[in-house]
Amino acid sequence: MLMIPAGKPKFALGVGLWDETLKPFNAFVQRELLDAERQKRKGNLTPAPGSLDEERRLHVTVQLVPRPDNDYNPHAMSVAAPPSHGGTDIERHLGYMYDRNLVSLGAALRSLATLTDRPLGCHAFVDIAPLHRDEWDEDEYDPDGPQDAVHRVRGADGIEYQIDGPRLMLPWWEDLQKMAVDCAHTVRPEQILGFIGHWTSWEPGARDALAQRFQDEEFTVTLRAEQQVVRVYYQDLCLSTLETDSGGYFDRTIQRVRELGGTATAQAEEHHGALKLLVEDSTPLTTGSTDARALHNQDHGQTKDTAPTAG
């Protein structure tokens, strides 16, 4: 698997579990718990996947799978048991990341999953707590009921545990986005990833001409450096022109296109009458007294910060 480096447990993200995934999730945790107990008996106390730490967290590895087939949200991200559990990623599906977390993390995760031909892995944990029969509230908890049963697992020694949903130990969104960008620059250097959107005006007549060709909401465009500007093309149709200006929102994009030899690809969409260009970073460059245009000719090279590791 291509493993994303783990973030801090205190920032871990919850996962939405549904009725049809409760039993598969319970079976997943049951298997992982027995594996963790075997590791503990061997003396392996490191809080790594397949282990239990002192805070009664079961550390696991899950797979993150883009689900464009999801009718509710085509940008949905599935959380599945790892390939070692057998079956397809759909058969191993446990739940979905929440939409509120996908707002900042979804584009980077989808990009990483697309860039690699291996499953995309993530560190996670499940909180577990021993159940004591004398503490059960019979009015609220039925240990033999079908719903409560899927929230319990049993250890090799017969002890039953109450379990919570999985928590994903993903890094901070800026770090995750940088990992995806660094990975893309290595695997597909000619492509600019679509993380952040900023609006640009259409060339006269370009919007109507594009509408006559297709009606897709999102489409791929070619960015070409021409003299001191970068033009946005769909095939042979020039849609817009990017220039350095007082806002400078496309300065980084212009710089990146020039670094790539004058041509790159990106994603764009028509949004509320304007052309929205999705690029890696639309934050204006901090140039100080240096003219922004001079920065376009500098050779910055590729960054070498932390990137996903193989596991």
| Element counts in the chain: helices (H) and strands (E) | 7, 16
Burial (CB < 10 A; 0-12, 13-18, 19+), residue 52, is buried
- DSSP secondary-structure letter at 285? P
Q: Which residue spans within the chain are E strands per DSSP?
A: 2-4, 13-16, 51-52, 57-67, 76-80, 93-97, 120-130, 152-154, 160-168, 196-200, 218-226, 229-234, 237-242, 263-271, 274-279, 309-310
Retrieve residue 14's tokens: 């919850």
Position 52 scores a pLDDT of 54
The pTM for the full model equals: 0.69
- Listed range (115-129, 140-154, 203-217, 244-258) with the worst mean pLDDT: 140-154
Please state the φ and ψ torsions of residue 16, each to the nearest 5 degrees: -80, 115
Cβ–Cβ under 8 Å, residues 13 and 24: no
Opening angle at CA 193, ends 191 and 195, nearest 5: 165
Residues forming a β-bridge with 309? 3
Supply the pLDDT for residue 309. Answer: 45
Nearest 5°: phi and psi at 149? -65, -35
Strands (E) in 81-159, as ranges, are 93-97, 120-130, 152-154
Place of tokens 């020694």: 157
Pairing relation of β-strands 120-130 and 2-4? parallel
Q: What type of residue is 152? A: R
The answer to which of 10-14, 68-72, 143-147, 277-281 has the lowest mean pLDDT is 143-147
Q: Percent of the chain beyond pLDDT 90? A: 38
User: What are the pLDDT digits (tens) for 104-138?
Assistant: 899 899 989 988 889 999 999 999 888 765 554 54
Q: Which amino acid does the sequence have at 82?
A: P
Q: How far apart are CA 191 and CA 106, in angstroms?
A: 18
| Residue that has been written with the tokens 């990833």 in this structure | 193
Contacts of 151 (CB under 8 A, 6+ apart): 22, 26, 162, 163
Two tokens, residue 68 = 């464009």
- The one-character DSSP state at 4 is E
Number of Cβ atoms within 10 Å of the Cβ of 238: 15
Band (pLDDT 50/70/90 cuts) for residue 296 is very low
The mean per-residue pLDDT over the stretch 252-279 comes to 89
Mean pLDDT of the chain: 81
Q: Which parts of 116-250 fold into alpha helices (H)?
A: 146-149, 173-187, 206-211
Tens digit of each residue's pLDDT (9 = 90 or more) over 65-109: 999 999 888 889 999 999 999 999 999 999 999 999 998 899 899
Residues shown for the chain? 311
